Amino acid sequence: MQPLLTVNNLSKYYGDLKACDRISFTLYPGQVLGIIGESGSGKSTLLDSIAGHVPFENGIVEYCDRDNNPIDLRTLPEPRRRKLMKTEWGFVRQNPRDGLRMTVTAGANIGERLLDVGERHYGNIRTEALEWLSEVEIPHGRIDDFPSTFSGGMQQRLQLARILVTRPRIVLMDEPTGGLDVSVQARLLDLMRSLVRTLHLSVILVTHDIGVVRLLAHRLMVMQNGQVVESGLTDQVLDDPHHPYTQQLVNATLIP
């Protein structure tokens, strides 16, 4: 099977600080790759580098598009990168207010992504928006409400609908359950797991929460001080961790 995304020796520096140090991995269709580590481990910097939000010094990030053409994301012109992020990719932010337009309605937030892929029929856009509100368990009657009137969990579900409406092939998620209370987290995780499976999404999931990666991720990378210290199948890494740092993370979650 051909990988959707290949990252090879990606390095990102801030002065003498190696935020990401020679990171390499492949992401395949329908696969969820979890990346865990404490704050400052480099996991969010890695995600931002892959998305093109920050430039990186060395390495290759290559994406295989819908037409099976290899694209070097490091050299991709900015207009093409922006189009790619609006069509074939999506980015779920920890704070949904950063991923939504708070000054337009819920329906308009979803509809804007459809406009980006060429849909111009208002009726079709509204119908599609209503369908996606249902997908993320938001009542149809909220379609003309502003996101500022939604709870945090509902805002995060709306952000998912906004991104997934264009059927992206890769979704990058940065702490998608952070800041939510436990019951809201559980509901959102169940929804995410269902959407990943039914849409056959490829996902890179950054989190500090081992419970989240155990539920969602097929494969796992553990980062410490900008480096990958352990990787493999999620259950294998978490049930039989080899690196002392991974053991420390796992043991911390087991302490009552």
pLDDT > 50? residue 255: no
pLDDT > 90? residue 142: yes
pLDDT > 60? residue 226: yes
**Which tokens sit at 47?**
């995600």
Report which of 58, 61, 107, 102 is spatially closest to residue 81, judged by C-alpha positions.
61
Residue 254's pLDDT band, with cuts at 50, 70 and 90, is low
Strand locations in the chain (E): 5-14, 17-27, 32-36, 58-64, 70-72, 89-92, 170-174, 202-207, 219-224, 227-233
What is the per-residue pLDDT across 207-217, written as a single tens digit (0 to 9) for each?
988 989 999 99
Q: What is the model's pTM?
A: 0.93
What is the per-residue pLDDT across 162-194, written as a single tens digit (0 to 9) for each?
999 999 999 999 998 887 888 888 888 888 889
Q: H or E element: which one contains 126?
A: helix 122-135
Q: What is the SS3 assignment for 222?
A: strand
What is the per-residue pLDDT across 189-225, written as a single tens digit (0 to 9) for each?
888 889 889 989 999 999 988 989 999 999 999 999 9
Helix orientation angle between 152-164 and 122-135, rounded to the nearest 10 degrees: 130
Q: What is the pLDDT of residue 256?
A: 39
Q: What is the SS3 assignment for 136?
A: coil
How many angstroms separate the CA atoms of 220 and 233, rounded?
Answer: 6
How far lies 31's CA from each of 110, 169, 170, 231, in Å? 25, 11, 9, 15
